[in-house]
Structure 1
């Protein structure tokens, strides 16, 4: 029958299978995770789940991350998934009254490493914009204006497609954007974006508007209605393909590039925070990590004593 610990683990797995309808794949994954956990506790002479302390679980998590003689170190995401099984098991024991306290509840899962935003170099941005401006059709003029605006003001794609014509002020060279939480910000409009928008509004939007029932939207689709978020994604992906750019590009790529290029050019991080509409400067500081990484790469490849 095994130890009390092993029987308790089997009871939880049976509960998941019968009462919760867990899939065979999920059950196999949890069983594998619990087997490793049981081995860890056995190495400490623990065969009764009631004898497990919070420190035993914290040490198990550390072992997952650092590895041991039988296992390679796990990434934060994989270790967190294993901890989910352990925490589920101990919560079950507490709810069943088998243990007085849930000793795993206070053990936090490891945080995955912060992913750096993806930005593309300026020459690739220029290639993308050049590919969007091929031809003189209403669609090509619209696409060029959309991409120039996304890169020119660092707008989120939802913010860009939500713009109305009246949100563009050519005289003051500004754009009024409604961001997350209904927070409005007024952004400077650069010359390239202004010229692309002017060409679109005078030579393309009227033709698109005749196909619809009338819309205040700045960017219109082929039927005269407001351009959707998904259509904006399609615009950048189709244009990136024509420009023969590597990797997967999205509207957010242009937002990331906007922020990174500003910081590379010496802009203050709090100014970039305001331009992006971030509630906290901590969010914006992620972009400074990108520029530091770029400095490391240049240093490593260029300095004679870097290695």
Structure 2
């Protein structure tokens, strides 16, 4: 039976600034305009995105117990900004559970949790939270109650977040035992190459054809298509050529491109700057879009991909665009279309299928581990047949005899 939860988890809340903005150096005021004093090479839109994530982190920290302040500083310096945000969200979720479900230490909210009581938590307490509560619970909001289910991948992330927290307290000698060592393992399904969702090469061709001709679009979609087909084509070509992440596409600016050098700059996870070479396909679709279709934007920065409202496209609108055209390519309903990440998988599989080295593809897609890239290698069609047909052992023996 689902457990009830008094307050929604942090990801259901409207994150506000906790007060001090570390990038601006002033206390937030709704009447003040946010300005950027940027002396780095990082584009303003990337700085703004990082600032928004920092504001969310500060908001989460303001809701957590004060005795965790050293842990907050540790996360700030030890992990990527996105990881910091995820860890803080998970820790707040756990603290809400302690307060609302267990009435822990008599606290009325997570910020009131007693440090001494928290340091006495055991591995059994964490295992109970993960195995019993997290698997299914109810979030109550004004408009509806949501049944929330977490499967093993989500549980493993929560376990990892709490493990880092309690290891930190043990390292700082605030807890007598490293209770993270007693956390129950969470088995994750081994990735199966055949289960990886991606488009076949023929389906990529159908997708590009759909965006060029409008074939498969509804009457309403055709009205927008006339104004955005070159933009949409440019995005899909970049997705399937480079295997870019949706955030990397969304953050592209006109100034990201250096045509003299034949390259463009992207910003990857952990704020890595990477220069990507421009090939003829990418260059032609981008130039065609910029010259014939791109709207003048009201944004202070210079976004490459602009909405019909003249603003930078959102991640959500790009996702919807990809879903629409991939569903046409696969001849399925719109809700069954693929996400941008599936186009990343498509690029990896296609590159390997065309004979490029796994290590070159790993470098292009920014995979931390080559085993991730190897999953896509299994998609190479007729791989076994190609190997066997190109290795005729009797022919090899006959060649040896002739040479003697």
Do they superpose with TM above 0.5?
yes
User: What residue number does 2:308 align with?
Assistant: 222
Distance 2:152 2:227 in 1: 46
Instruction: Say which SS state the counterpart of residue 274 (structure 2) adopts.
Output: strand
User: What residue number does 2:213 align with?
Assistant: 134
User: What residue number does 2:249 align with?
Assistant: 160
User: What residue number does 2:323 align with?
Assistant: 237
Q: Choose which of 259, 271, 286 in structure 2 pairs with 1:197.
A: 286
Instruction: Say which SS state the counterpart of residue 380 (structure 2) adopts.
Output: helix
Instruction: Say which SS state the counterpart of residue 279 (structure 1) adopts.
Output: coil
* Structure-2 change in CA distance of 1:266 and 1:165 (3 Å): same
Q: What's the CA shift for 1:166?
A: 1.7
User: What residue number does 1:263 align with?
Assistant: 352
Instruction: Say which SS state the counterpart of residue 302 (structure 2) adopts.
Output: coil
User: What residue number does 2:371 align with?
Assistant: 282
Q: What's the CA shift for 1:126?
A: 0.8
Q: Choose which of 182, 185, 189 in structure 2 pairs with 1:108.
A: 185
* Structure-2 change in CA distance of 1:220 and 1:17 (3 Å): closer
Distance 2:267 2:305 in 1: 15
* Structure-2 change in CA distance of 1:244 and 1:288 (3 Å): closer
Q: What's the CA shift for 1:189?
A: 2.2
Deviation digits for residues 160-183 of structure 1, max 9, x if unmatched? 110111212334432211111111
Q: Aligned residues, how many?
A: 214
Higher relative contact order (CA 8 A, sep 6+): 1
* Structure-2 change in CA distance of 1:125 and 1:297 (3 Å): farther
* Unmatched 5+ stretches in structure 1: 1-15, 21-25, 31-75, 85-101, 300-307
Deviation digits for residues 232-252 of structure 1, max 9, x if unmatched? 111112223444534531111
Deviation digits for residues 68-103 of structure 1, max 9, x if unmatched? xxxxxxxx959x99xx9xxxxxxxxxxxxxxxxx9x
Map 1:165-204 to 2 at 5 A. 165-204=254-293
TM-score, normalisation: structure 2? 0.45
* Structure-2 change in CA distance of 1:165 and 1:106 (3 Å): closer
Deviation digits for residues 114-166 of structure 1, max 9, x if unmatched? 25432211110011111112368341111111111111211111001101112
Distance 1:188 1:269 in 2: 18
Distance 1:232 1:18 in 2: 42
Distance 2:198 2:386 in 1: 16
User: What residue number does 1:119 align with?
Assistant: 198
Deviation digits for residues 177-204 of structure 1, max 9, x if unmatched? 1111111222222222221111101011
TM-score, normalisation: structure 1? 0.58
* Structure-2 change in CA distance of 1:180 and 1:240 (3 Å): same
Map 1:24-35 to 2 at 5 A. none
Q: What's the CA shift for 1:259?
A: 0.8
Map 1:21-100 to 2 at 5 A. none
User: What residue number does 1:150 align with?
Assistant: 239
| 2:241–2:347 contact (8 Å) kept in structure 1 | yes
- The CA RMSD measured in Å over matched residues stands at 3.9
Q: What's the CA shift for 1:273?
A: 1.3
User: What residue number does 1:43 align with?
Assistant: none
| 1:237–1:249 contact (8 Å) kept in structure 2 | yes
